[in-house]
Structure 1
Amino acid sequence: MAGTTVADDGLVEQAFTAAVQELGVAPGTARHTEQLAHVRATMGESKISVFRHLFAGDEESAQHANAAFESAYGRLVADGRCEPVPGAREAVEQLRGEGRTVVLTTGFARVTQDAILAALGWTDLADLTLCPADAGGRGRPYPDMVLTALLRTRAADDVRQIAVAGDTSHDMRSGTRAGAGVVAGVLTGAHDEAALLAAGATHVLGSVTELPGLLARAEAGR
């Protein structure tokens, strides 16, 4: 969602900074700079996994930071800081209108995902929404959410009929590990074309608005 269908606008980094400040990691310090670099590199990963890495061996601090992050992000959403990527809603509606099944996934907790969907008026936009806890808790870069989407919707009988779109390297790894036929990186979020291709992207798009056309061409080619 964030960076692919939802404009991030630096909200993840802002929420991260607010969260780690509660654990004594101040902006401008060497530790904050190091941790922020890891957050940027792991965009798309389950947030609790990120905090477990940052506070290795200290589960209490990881859980505290994760809860503070979700709370801070929720406040930003409530303050009206949440906007769709231009044309994203229309792209999802087009895909569904063509008979495709659309599942929106996130590395956020369910409460944050629901807050974003409500803020955008997207509660009923997709066929299904998933967060890491809905698929065993591991999140990306594991293939779990992609495969859970297939199992829950029963929309295909072959993993190669799945298309995964995302803005991060972890999105690409999740899609390739699930065996998706199309793994499309988009340039509206965290990572650039080189990073997306290095992580296994089969295509790189300017934005998710190009996905319906890509799928139509892919089907025509087959």
Structure 2
Amino acid sequence: MTVQHTAHLVVLDMAGTTVADDGLVEESFRAAAAHVGEDPASMLDHVRATMGESKIAVFRHLLGGDETRAREANAAFERAYAERVDADRIAPVPGAAETIAALRESGRTVVLSTGFARVTQDAILDALGWRDLADLTLCPADAGGRGRPYPDLVLTALLRTRAADDVRHVAVAGDTAYDMLSGVRAGAGIVAGVLTGAHDKDRLTAHGATHVLASVVELPDLIDGLRS
């Protein structure tokens, strides 16, 4: 019997993968660090290395596990990002909206996931007019609080949508090493890195990317080409 190795569920990252945010992540981290009396420059290397991770987890690491200060910094980050989100600073990665629409029109279920809190994710969706673009949107709180590099967001997408009966029929796409780790740990059949965001081909591949694409626009053709 021939098995169709295709994706019925597609889980897409937002910032850097489907959304271009004009450097707002780093800008907001700088504001948050200053808010809690830390030197932003001392934090940025870790911030860049862990792009894609839940932001509260990043602050816990940077602030030595101090939960109170981590939560304060995370709240400051979310405020700073939300204050800056508007149509002038946020835009779709070229072709991303059309790609999501095409994936859904082909019968696939599409989930947008993020390491941001829900309030920030919603601000981005509103700025883009994307509230109804995907079948489902998820943030770490929707997955029990654990974001990437854990597999929870991908597995939550599968459980919530019931779009596939095998994790190998899930495709994950993102621009960071943590996106790749999350997809690999979830058992996704396709873990595609894209070069429109934080990390380069070598880093994406080293963290488990099965494919590296110039942009998310190439994902439908990749999925269709892997049918056997």
Conserved? CA contact 1:8–1:189, under 8 Å: no
Greater RCO between the two (CA within 8 Å, min separation 6)?
Answer: 2
In structure 2, give the amino acid aligned to 1:97.
E
* CA shift in 2, pair 1:19/1:127, >3 Å: same
Higher normalized helix content (fraction of residues): 1
Runs of 4+ in structure 1 deviating by more than 3 angstroms, as ranges, are: none
In structure 2, the partner of 1:63 is 71
In structure 1, the partner of 2:141 is 133
Equivalent position SS for 1:148? helix
Query: Mapping of 1:21-100 within 5 angstroms?
Result: 21-26=34-39, 32-78=40-86, 80-100=88-108
Is 1:19 the counterpart of 2:27? The answer is: no
- Runs of 5+ in structure 1 lacking a partner? 27-31
Q: 1:6 aligns with which of 4, 12, 19?
A: 19
CA distance in 1, matches of 2:76, 2:204: 29
Is 1:155 the counterpart of 2:163? The answer is: yes
Report sequence identity in percent. Answer: 71
Equivalent position SS for 1:104? strand
Q: 2:150 aligns with which of 105, 124, 142?
A: 142
Query: Mapping of 1:181-192 within 5 angstroms?
Result: 181-192=189-200
In structure 2, give the amino acid aligned to 1:34.
S
In structure 2, give the amino acid aligned to 1:22.
H
Is 1:177 the counterpart of 2:185? The answer is: yes
Structure 2 length as normaliser, TM-score?
0.93
CA distance in 2, matches of 1:51, 1:168: 18
**Is 79-88 or 163-172 further displaced after alignment?**
79-88
In structure 1, give the amino acid aligned to 2:207.
A
CA distance in 2, matches of 1:183, 1:209: 15
CA distance in 2, matches of 1:10, 1:121: 20
How many matched pairs?
A: 215
The two structures, once aligned, show a CA RMSD in angstroms of 0.9
Cα deviation, residue 84, structure 1: 0.7
Structure 1 length as normaliser, TM-score?
0.95
In structure 2, the partner of 1:216 is 224
Deviations 1:3-28 (A, max 9, x none): 000013211000000111111124xx
* CA shift in 2, pair 1:216/1:79, >3 Å: closer
In structure 2, give the amino acid aligned to 1:206.
A
Equivalent position SS for 1:156? coil
